[in-house]
A and B are shown apart, each in its own frame.
Chain A
Amino acid sequence: MTGTRGHLRKTVLHVVSIVIGALIVVPIGFGVLGGFKDNGQLSTNPLGLPDPWVPGNYTGILGSEVFWRQLANSTLIALATVVVVVGASAMAAFVFARFAFRGREALFTLFAAGLMFPFAVAILPLFILLRSLGLLDNPLGVILPQAAFGLPVTIIILRSFFRGIPGEVEEAATLDGCGAFAFFWRILLPMARPALATVSVLAVVASWNNFMLPLVVFTDQNWWTLPVGVQAFQGQYADDTARVLAYVVLSMVPALAFYAVAERRLVAGLAGSVKG
């Protein structure tokens, strides 16, 4: 694979990659630039650079309280979901990985089977349950169900990681007087930091993108998360394409920034969840 043939091949690879990359980048770029146009410009010149640049759409949204509140709601709900789902999963995975007891595999299977339960199946009774518990228009009404549906994948990944920690570590800890609690808290969790980071990143992405649950739980606009807010904004300003584009772009920024920071962990998590 040397000489011209290798060269040609490389060129083809680049061309294919660039074409597909363009398919991804161009719609996003259209959004970013479109946000800097006004609707007249968008109609006459949907593709080119803005002329003149109109920052008003972006500054208007950044100056409004609504966007920041939705950002804060999404952040709060994502962080709380992570704490609940990773905490509960780590404890359960600890038991599934390192304790021997009757019914362990059956219980683990029950959790693992949760992977294939469609969220949409539970949404109606969940809504009714949350209504009777008074958790509508309450962030817990989103956080807790989200965490519950996140348990399967988190437990599966953490269990396989916990299993990889050698028994000698545990024996040494026990000899030094560590009980189960101390071992879990002082040794297992610190050793599992990379795995915990990975499942946390997965949980953040899932929570950040959740739409159906916040859609039905929050009728009070003050609790809307970004996906709900974006959809409502589109409904409200249907004719103001440039403004909606700016809103979409701004709501993408936190997700893409998080991706840039956590890419490695995210990929590790996806690859890991496939291996089980």
Chain B
Amino acid sequence: MTRSVTGPRPDTTAGPVRPKAPAVRRHDHRPGLRRLGTIAFFLAPALVLFLLLVIVPILVAGYTSLFKWNGFNLPEDFVGLDNFSRALGDPIFQGDLRRGLVLIVLSVVIQLPASLALALLLNQPLRGRAVYRLVFFAPYVLSEVTTAVLFTLVFSPSRGLGSTVLGWFGAAELGGSIFADPGTVLYAVFFVISWKYFGFHMILYLAGRQGIPRELTEAATTDGASGWQVFRHVTLPLLGPTIRISLFLSIIGTIQLFDMVWVLTGGGPTHASETLAVTMFQYGFRRFEVGYASAISIVMFLLSLVFALLYQRFVLRRDLEGALTTRGVQR
């Protein structure tokens, strides 16, 4: 079975741990349904689209990252891994990594716990709960671009809501320059990201919370557990899978962050809010250093991939029975 190695996780990790799946889904042995032609017919559209527009471009990015290339004609000037070593020595690139890490840490420490707390609050019987949910979740459907434009105006120096409100706290000048000050811009970006996405995470947690049988928390309460103890020893562990997925999505999203930053700040001032994707875009579509830009996008890819694989290997493996990950070929 040569096919099995195409999965993202090495087979060595898949083999020994899991027992073979019982052959339950075998009712489709009738010859009429097993014909290869039928299978090929139904798979073809998705497979062609996916290979041509997802897999091939990523492979091409890997190839062009080895060239000094302006994106026109064919890449000829082979430079090996020079683009990568150039990136490693580039303060902007190093800054991208550092800023990405800051945003991830802020999300994990502030945004996700806040979403969780809010989800648990809204799980309680409360009048108007449906309206609250609707409101909290609404920003998720707004595009990052409209959100970003709205907030540049909210914090516009002379006409903004932000500077006025901050003025009440004696910090009016902060409101006007929050996106222009290298010291605050990254936190301002984080604020807007949280504004847009905390409702999304809240919905995930709510769905997870509602999947916990009421009997469990009731039983714990009857046994004399305090509210905190119920949370700590019943709710939290049972929310584990949801929390781990939400964390995963948040981190992968941060690695790829583009729209919001591009519109809010363009990466400035002086690169203080620039992300990997913004740097890549600058070099690829503004300066036509496509080879170098490809190298940066490959770094982004590797970061996502390595993170995803490690995360699945060490964190998610209990949760996902083959949903995102490979079990090799089971049959």
Contacts and interface: CB of A to CB of B under 8 A. Distances in A.
Nearest to B327: A105
A10 interface: yes
B314 interface: no
Contact of A111 (B46, B149, B159): B46
Interface string B229-258: 000000000000110011000001001101
A256 B300 contact: no
Interface string A124-141: 111111000000000000
Given A95-B39, A103-B329, A274-B207, A122 B122 contact: no
Contact of A148 (B49, B118, B300, B324): B49
Nearest to B320: A276
Given A117-B304, A184-B42, A231 B118 contact: no
A228 B145 CA distance: 8
Interface in A142-164: 144-145, 147-149, 151, 155-156, 160, 163
Q: B-side binding surface: helix, strand, loop or mixed?
A: helix
Interface residues of A, number: 109
A189 interface: no
B151 interface: yes
B8 A109 contact: yes
B53 interface: yes
B113 interface: no
Contact of B150 (A28, A43, A163): A28
Interface string B6-26: 111000000000000000011
Q: A-side binding surface: helix, strand, loop or mixed?
A: helix
B256 to A, nearest CB: 4
Interface string A23-36: 11111101100100
Interface centre among B200, B300, B326 (most CB of A within 10 A): B326
A106 B11 CA distance: 11
B207 to A, nearest CB: 3
A46 interface: yes
A27 B7 contact: no
Contacts of B300: 118, 120-121
Nearest to A257: B141
Contacts of A155: 46
B15 to A, nearest CB: 13
A212 B259 contact: yes
Contacts of A42: 159
Nearest to B63: A125
Contacts of B219: none
A105 B30 CA distance: 20
B154 interface: yes
24 contacts: A14-B128, A24-B195, A88-B46, A91-B41, A92-B46, A99-B39, A101-B39, A102-B3, A103-B3, A117-B301, A118-B300, A119-B256, A120-B297, A124-B71, A124-B285, A125-B58, A148-B49, A167-B27, A205-B141, A211-B258, A227-B145, A258-B141, A259-B141, A274-B245
Given A21-B132, A148-B49, A212-B258, 20 more contacts: A21-B136, A91-B46, A100-B34, A102-B1, A105-B7, A109-B327, A117-B54, A119-B256, A122-B53, A125-B60, A144-B53, A148-B52, A156-B323, A180-B35, A211-B144, A230-B146, A234-B152, A244-B149, A255-B141, A271-B203
